[in-house]
Chain A
Amino acid sequence: MLEAVNIQKSFSSEGADVPVLKGVSIRLEEADYVAIVGRSGSGKTTLLNVLSTLVKPDSGALNYRGSDLTSAAEKQLNTIRKSDFSVIFQFHHLLPYLSVLENTLLPFMGSLAPVSRQLEQRALKCLDRVGLADKARRLPGNLSGGEQQRVAIARALVKSSKILFADEPTGSLDKKTGEQIMQLLAELHGDGLAIVMVTHEPAYADLAQRTIELEDGVIAH
């Protein structure tokens, strides 16, 4: 479904190019569950951002269902980000001034046409699934870190995403809440959602079907 071939990416630091990814190749199948692990600075988050099209690689190919995303127009990338891909970050994944329901429906609020009643109902069902239906009208500031992560997951559900990219989704949560989030991800994977997750926790990485370990910008094993 999604294939990255020989991805290279460098960032400038103090006038010099620092290579972060040095020829990474990875293949993701339908309903796959991949954990990316590695030490800090090994390039995990950069790889996740490249795979989710948020960062453009310097070289290499990124193919999604037959389309090369490295040469795709911005419009096509936006369409994929809006419908097929979902990203949840460790922090700051919700707009603080929109309610939980509005944050869940954010991908559909990009035009002057109002969001339909059907979509609103669907969003409420998705919030119900992540246990937040009763907090739909609240602002994110009134939710715990775990609840905020669950809103981001509900957003991915409303979109009927094909792949969920999660960058250390439990990084800012306590152990119990972290486990609840991992349980939720496992359930979604059971429903057919492909997941690519960056994590530091070996126990959470073990929940994935495959683990990729990055070391200094290359896949160690």
Chain B
Amino acid sequence: MMHQSLFVYSGYRYFKLSMLLIIASVVAYAIHAPVDGPNGGTWLGYTLGGLGAFLILLLMWFGIRKRSYKSSMGKVEGWLSAHVYLGLALIVIATLHAGFQVGWNLHTLAYVLMFIVIFSGIFGVYAYLRYPELMTKNRRGNTLELMLIEMSELDRECREAASQLTDEINKCILESSEKTKIGGSIRQQLSGRPQNCATQAAFNKVTELNKSLPKEMADDASRLMTLLGKKCELVQRACRDVQYKAMMDIWLYFHVPLSFALLAALIAHVVSIFFYW
């Protein structure tokens, strides 16, 4: 096989490993019957806790490995494959470690943080599965930069087409070229739609004005509308491109900082257990 995605990496190696860990944990949990009920303090609790803590460190090490470009310790793809599957296994392992006990304490804080990190990661997996293909289709072989260049080229053509038309139309065209905005704030990026798009406004306005234009201007006006229509479509595609990229990036702003918070909480959890239990 020429290539494979991270989900099937090396014949589902890490999926199998995760399943093995999950099944082993569940079976051990089912067999094990401590006197005071399942909790983190039994031998199984410590084992699962140790395993979970080890997994968290391993999963976080992915951030280092990803940037250790000279490292020959496996491919990053393999690491990410392990990261995804072992991260999912952590849901089961950590829950069994806690023995389903939750409370308003530091230990549960670590547990909750872990869940947020994992779920942000699950969103990441979803984004990575969904958006790359949409992005390619939406770009139609162009890059965002080329789309912007094409837009300014359309602007030039619009100005040319409008040169013999009314001042009002020319004002719209000028606004379309100066005030059309791609991207912007995080919210605007994620929306995937142009906000108060000057090009759309110009298009609407020209359509409206077109009805009252003298006959000799009709040709120029219809050419202008075609150009503005093209630009509207391009603006929409560019906004969608920004949206897709933002969707693929946004979750990392939760996933990474929160995993550091998780690490801190985890250290506090472990230290407090060994010193104060």
Query: Does B associate with A?
Result: no
